[in-house]
């Protein structure tokens, strides 16, 4: 729990602070006096003033931050500061200052995705398992062992790429063209018809519903018990079992069942060790299991080994990948919001701080790459959310400024007050629904 809370605090603190830095940088460029930049909320623990008179503060609650500007000339302590007030700037400068926060989050997402591409990540290879009969993948002629090379003309390197490229189509339905290459090197193009499917938070994996499932992992030898049949046969930690008897590429379950059914019988094993194939023989030892049945065991621990690929890009490619992935995420987020409004997507998919904290902890435990990917995704979400035309959000202020441009004069104060009330109500309703969904997931 403490680890999850720490991962959540770091994520939220970093992303919101970067958001506020966007406002700060552009405000300074536009000549607006910034009174305070606070990392965190609440009581100020540490503070210092820079040569511009801005107070940099570290506050007690480390969940974000804020920028306090000189809003109007009436707040100025000195006459020369009156022109540095926010509302004294042109509407275009105010638009730049307000829009800089969400833009900073999108830029951060680009940089994080680019970093992952530049450093490289180890991901499951895009190898397909056996599509169940009657599924779109099976009807399209996709077979077990096929390697997916492209989706709708866009090349893919990993299973994560496959999932991402198909994310939109499997949620809305339609036609998708899947290019594959089989184990003999023969290329093929498959036209897959995907039906529209209801999106529920506790629903089945939509990609698996199409019949596209990741290939069954190969059994890999973990610990080998000294003196066991496995040790006597020559099995070593790290060996990958490619065949047992006449069963090629068995799953972990199939391998265990095969061994258990042959106590005292010699079995043939083909293993892969450091790229070379070796043939071994083992005789499973007869033992009695918890049900009183005699089964065969060879005394090794097995794990599942997925074929993996290293996904890495060059410097310019990484940046391009970051821009493309961020743009696709923005578009998908907006599309899902629209479908939620018209009722095509359940509002139960809306998540709040509890779910976000849970995913922060999960990704941090998986590793740094997963956590960075999570940060990029949430950074996009913060940017998109703040650009929505809801009063009290940055997008609401931008909406007022656009109205000001159309009218040729500022929006009346009563409009602003009414908008604030509406915006507060909308945000309160959204937060209530998000918390409700969080606790439903938590307790069910």
How far apart, in whole angstroms, are the C-alpha atoms of residue 328 and residue 312?
19
Distances (CA, A) of 397 to 13, 91, 233, 345, 422: 23, 11, 73, 28, 13
Q: First-to-last CA distance in the chain?
A: 18
Distances (CA, A) of 407 to 165, 410, 411, 412: 43, 8, 8, 11
Q: Which long-range contacts (CB under 8 A, 24 or more apart) does 70-76 make?
A: 70/32, 70/33, 70/34, 70/35, 76/33
How far apart, in whole angstroms, are the C-alpha atoms of residue 400 and residue 418?
12
Is 20 assigned a catalytic role? yes
How far apart, in whole angstroms, are the C-alpha atoms of residue 164 and residue 162?
5
> What is the DSSP pairing of strand 174-181 with strand 187-194?
antiparallel
Selection from 85, 22, 340, 296 nearest residue 201 by Cα: 340
Q: Which of 20, 202, 209, 417 is catalytic?
A: 20
Q: If you search the block for the tokens 């507060």, which residue do you land on?
A: 424
The answer to whether 132 and 96 have CB atoms below 8 angstroms apart is no
Catalytic residues: 20
């Amino acid at each position: 729990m403490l680890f999850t809370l720490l991962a959540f605090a770091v994520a939220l603190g970093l992303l919101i602070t970067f958001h506020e830095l966007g406002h700060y940088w552009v405000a300074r460029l536009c000549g607006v006096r910034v009174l305070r930049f606070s990392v965190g909320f609440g009581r100020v623990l540490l503070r210092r003033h820079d040569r511009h008179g801005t107070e940099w503060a570290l506050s007690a609650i480390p969940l974000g931050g804020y920028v306090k500007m000189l809003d109007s000339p009436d707040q100025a302590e000195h006459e020369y500061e009156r022109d540095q007030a926010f509302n004294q700037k042109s509407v275009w400068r105010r638009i730049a200052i307000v829009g800089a926060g969400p833009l900073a989050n999108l830029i951060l997402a680009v940089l994080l995705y680019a970093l992952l591409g530049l450093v490289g990540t180890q991901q499951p290879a895009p190898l397909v398992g056996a599509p169940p009969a009657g599924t779109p993948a099976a009807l399209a002629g996709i077979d077990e062992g096929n390697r997916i090379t492209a989706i709708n003309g866009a090349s893919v390197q990993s299973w994560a790429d496959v999932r991402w490229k198909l994310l939109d189509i499997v949620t809305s339905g339609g036609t998708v063209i899947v290019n594959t290459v089989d184990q003999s090197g023969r290329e093929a193009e498959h036209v897959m018809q995907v039906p529209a499917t209801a999106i529920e938070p506790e629903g089945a994996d939509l990609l698996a519903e199409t019949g596209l499932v990741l290939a069954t992992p190969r059994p890999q030898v973990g610990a080998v018990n000294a003196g066991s049949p496995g040790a006597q046969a020559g099995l070593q930690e790290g060996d990958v079992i490619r065949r047992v008897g006449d069963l090629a590429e068995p799953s972990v379950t199939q391998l265990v069942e095969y061994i258990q059914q042959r106590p005292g019988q010699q079995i043939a094993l083909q293993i892969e060790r450091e790229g070379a194939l070796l043939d071994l023989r083992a005789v499973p030892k007869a033992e009695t299991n918890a049900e009183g049945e005699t089964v065969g065991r060879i005394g090794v621990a097995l794990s599942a080994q997925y074929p993996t690929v290293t996904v890495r890009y060059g410097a310019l490619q990484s940046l391009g990948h970051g821009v493309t992935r961020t743009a696709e995420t923005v578009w998908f987020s907006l599309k899902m919001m629209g479908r939620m409004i018209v009722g095509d997507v359940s509002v139960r998919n809306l998540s709040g701080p509890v779910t976000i904290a849970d995913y922060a902890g999960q990704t941090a435990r998986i590793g740094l790459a997963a956590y960075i990917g999570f940060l990029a995704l949430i950074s996009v979400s913060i940017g998109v959310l703040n650009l929505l035309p809801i009063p009290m959000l940055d997008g609401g202020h931008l909406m007022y400024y656009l109205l000001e441009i159309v009218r040729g004069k500022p929006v009346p104060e009563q409009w602003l007050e009414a908008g604030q009330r509406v915006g507060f109500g909308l945000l309160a309703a959204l937060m209530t629904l998000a918390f409700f969904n969080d606790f439903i997931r938590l307790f069910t």
